Structure 1
Amino acid sequence: MPESLEPLRPHAGLYPEAPNGIPSRSSGGAIRVLVVDDSAAVRELLREMLQQDPALQVAATATNGEEAVRLVEKLKPDVVTMDIHMPVLDGFGATQQIMQRFPVPIVIISGSLDLTEVSVSFQAMAAGAVAVVQRPRGVGHPSFGADTLALVRIIKAMAEVKVVRRWPSDRPAPATSRSDTSALPTLAAASAALTPIGERASRTPGTALYHVPASACLQKRRVDIVAIGTSTGGPQALHALFSQLPAPLPVPVAIVQHMTEGFMPGYTQWLERAVPFPVELATDGGMLQPGRVYLAPDGAHLTVNGFGRALLSRAEPVNGLRPAVSELFSSVAAGYGSRAVAMLLTGMGTDGAAELRELRDRGALTIAQSAESSVVFGMPGHAVRLDAAELVLSPEQIAVALTRLFRLTPSNPTKAVPHL
């Protein structure tokens, strides 16, 4: 196996980047939105909410997924809001077709927190949708104003993210250079791309990505925990990472995933079905077991102590977030230090970046997701600027790194991993 890790390189200069990692619009004009829902009342509600902001324009509405596919091809909107349960073609099928043919940011509007519907919503995210939110309450609801602001904010942000073409499972992606409309690499492709390069000292501080020889950070290292923080694009990144591992990790994995409140139980269920090892919501005081993945539940900070217990807290939000990646990483730094692997994956903002630097200073192996593979290069990008990440990799390459680090070999999983 090659001796160094070669990260994917960002599209330099292609997207002028804002502080939260969302590339700023260069085309000007209103953001054109296609609203897709089989309910006339919901379509009108979303139209009314979105058009309260002059930066947004509802270009058209569609009553089913088949109509949505046609309108995306014809109108080329900047973003699509997508219902799940619709006649003719549902939201999952429409998302698949749109992302295979005319990639555009898609925000899933879920009408229910029912576990089945939420699971389908995350299947749509695996197919290429960039976010999932709960359907806003109606005009007479006390939260209508707050719901409107939240929906407008997410639509404006998601309209700016880069999206990738998702190739059908029976059709391999073309063997061309990667671009915004290409598929992410498989584990085999990621491993084949790992070639030696110069030492990180040769890079310009605080700018481009760099490579670290594998012998310097992936060998002769004791690891007792893996900690992960992510936000926008996290479901896709975690699925890509975990589904490529040949076996469960011999240590517990603790994750803070920023998520709309109410979706974590369904998200956990979806991820547990999508990867070949157990995934569950962390419980207060629960022992963290090797080979298992633990997610922070809704509205609670997740921390860990040096004795391997998860601790949940309803303490004040940190930088407006609860759970916060910074809380998890700080506890891992204090309890594990150099015996940890910590990584920041795709997401808006800066949560966890400073604490990733603290972990690196304490000797932990630190990883940030690469710009090219991130839906939003906010959290990992800030970590790179702080020189907090020892490695900057795609999710598939992170799987390669973990396979080397833990010397994983293929095992017989207890369950099959579905193709998503």
Structure 2
Amino acid sequence: MIRVLIADDSATTRRFLIKILTEGNLIEVVGQASSGREAVDLAKELKPDVITMDIVMPGLNGVDATAQIMASNPTPIIIVSAMEDVRRSTISMDALNAGALAILALPSLNSPDLNAIASHIRETVVNVVKVKSVRLEKGKPLVAKLLQKAPALKVKPNRALRDILAGRSRLEIVCIAGSVGGPAALATILSELPVDFPLPILITQHISKGFTGDLARWLDNLSPIKVKVAEDGEPLKSSTAFIAPDNYHLGVRGRGNILLSVAAPINGFRPAASFMYDSVARVFKGQAVAVILTGMGSDGLSGLTIQKEVGGIIIAQDEATSVVYGMPKAAVENGLTDLVLPLESIAAYLTTLTQQNGLERK
């Protein structure tokens, strides 16, 4: 059984979460905290496998409680907060910076998506239980810790890269997808790209509705390149990362513009990684680089299969640095990848690929 501590100041919400989590007999709720301070104390006392944490609580809020727990008793933490709270909150990304692995919006009791969201919450708990939580220094945010451990690398020309680029025409676009653990992974990659990175970047990140704008602003503040929420029809630009907005698939319209689509969800996801990879592959063929990051399940697999067929370059994050080795694992096990890299190497390889392909700016 997976032992979970619930931290939420609402008794009604705690009962609701207990009902959601214990369905299926995989999860046991071993404690309940009604404040951030109590969550810190119970984390030390009970040593749960996973903690679900509210954001808005009296006294010590969920962000500060997360930071203290990660500094003293590192534990996989998932932010699960009422939708109206997280949409009002300006601190959602601070929770990720403090060490939380994911942010999920708790649905209302009459939500038409209640069963699907409840299942996703359970699935997230089950998947993060194996995460090796790192002890963070008090006051040092997660991304700073990651970057301190992994300074920007320089990749020397090597045979593997030469073979990948042999006979290839000019690279035109990068597309990246991730799920659980993806925001921190994206922060690590984008913050290490040069300010004049010569290609546009499309990003599909599974994240609860209402958080995409915060994610884009957070990444934009961390990154030398521009990061923004994608808008339908806007032109693709170098040195710019475009993030799929809530409830829209992200793709390309011709070779020069963003496409947003309300086509049916793919395997339950909209935006879906597979839609993005497929759209880019059909337009840019072998002139695209596809990156698959940490995340649950196998979203992206069908799109990466198309990428492989048309000659796109496919990079997967390795198991050792993935929070959840699901999406990259599916790509690796199906023989789709050209490179399997630790997170801290991906930005350097993207930069080197563009340089060896003759795209560096003069």
* TM-score bracket relative to the smaller structure: 0.7 to 0.9
Q: Distance between the aligned counterparts of 2:141 and 2:296, measured in 1?
A: 31
> Where do 5+ consecutive residues of structure 1 fail to align?
1-29, 174-182, 198-211, 411-420
**Greater RCO structure (CA 8 Å; 6+ sep):** 1
Question: In the alignment, what sits opposite 1:58?
Answer: 29
Question: In the alignment, what sits opposite 1:137?
Answer: 108
1:386–1:141: structure 2 CA closer, same or farther, 3 Å change rule? closer
Question: In the alignment, what sits opposite 2:332?
Answer: 384
- The code of the aligned residue for 2:11 comes to A
1:17-416 matches, cutoff 5 A: 30-113=1-84, 118-138=89-109, 147-158=117-128, 160-168=129-137, 184=146, 186=148, 189=151, 191=153, 213-217=160-164, 222-407=170-355
Q: Distance between the aligned counterparts of 1:164 and 1:38, measured in 2?
A: 25
Deviations 1:220-261 (A, max 9, x none): 862211111111111111011111223242211111112223
1:248–1:237: structure 2 CA closer, same or farther, 3 Å change rule? farther
Q: Distance between the aligned counterparts of 2:173 and 2:206, measured in 1?
A: 20
What is the SS of the residue equivalent to 1:336? helix
Q: Distance between the aligned counterparts of 2:178 and 2:137, measured in 1?
A: 27
- The code of the aligned residue for 1:250 comes to P
Q: Distance between the aligned counterparts of 1:172 and 1:147, measured in 2?
A: 29
Please say if residues 127 and 296 of structure 2, whose CA atoms lie closer than 8 Å, have aligned partners that are also in contact: no
1:172–1:230: structure 2 CA closer, same or farther, 3 Å change rule? closer
1:52–1:345: structure 2 CA closer, same or farther, 3 Å change rule? closer
Q: Distance between the aligned counterparts of 1:377 and 1:145, measured in 2?
A: 25
1:306–1:395: structure 2 CA closer, same or farther, 3 Å change rule? farther
What is the SS of the residue equivalent to 1:96? helix
What is the SS of the residue equivalent to 1:307? coil
- The code of the aligned residue for 1:214 comes to L
> Where do 5+ consecutive residues of structure 2 fail to align?
none
Cα shift at 1:325: 1.2
Q: Distance between the aligned counterparts of 2:135 and 2:157, measured in 1?
A: 30
Q: Distance between the aligned counterparts of 2:278 and 2:111, measured in 1?
A: 39
Q: Distance between the aligned counterparts of 1:404 and 1:161, measured in 2?
A: 33
Q: Calculate percent identity across the aligned residue pairs.
A: 40
Please say if residues 343 and 356 of structure 1, whose CA atoms lie closer than 8 Å, have aligned partners that are also in contact: no
Q: Distance between the aligned counterparts of 1:141 and 1:283, measured in 2?
A: 27
More strand by share: 2
Cα shift at 1:52: 4.3
Instruction: Give the CA RMSD over aligned residues.
Output: 3.1
Cα shift at 1:91: 1.3
Please say if residues 295 and 325 of structure 2, whose CA atoms lie closer than 8 Å, have aligned partners that are also in contact: yes
1:76–1:344: structure 2 CA closer, same or farther, 3 Å change rule? same
- The code of the aligned residue for 1:107 comes to I
Please say if residues 98 and 141 of structure 2, whose CA atoms lie closer than 8 Å, have aligned partners that are also in contact: no
1:148–1:311: structure 2 CA closer, same or farther, 3 Å change rule? closer
Q: Distance between the aligned counterparts of 2:139 and 2:19, measured in 1?
A: 41
Normalised to the residue count of structure 1, the TM-score between the two structures is 0.75
Please say if residues 201 and 242 of structure 2, whose CA atoms lie closer than 8 Å, have aligned partners that are also in contact: yes
1:196–1:167: structure 2 CA closer, same or farther, 3 Å change rule? farther
Cα shift at 1:308: 1.5
Please say if residues 115 and 265 of structure 1, whose CA atoms lie closer than 8 Å, have aligned partners that are also in contact: no
What is the SS of the residue equivalent to 1:316? coil
Please say if residues 248 and 292 of structure 1, whose CA atoms lie closer than 8 Å, have aligned partners that are also in contact: no
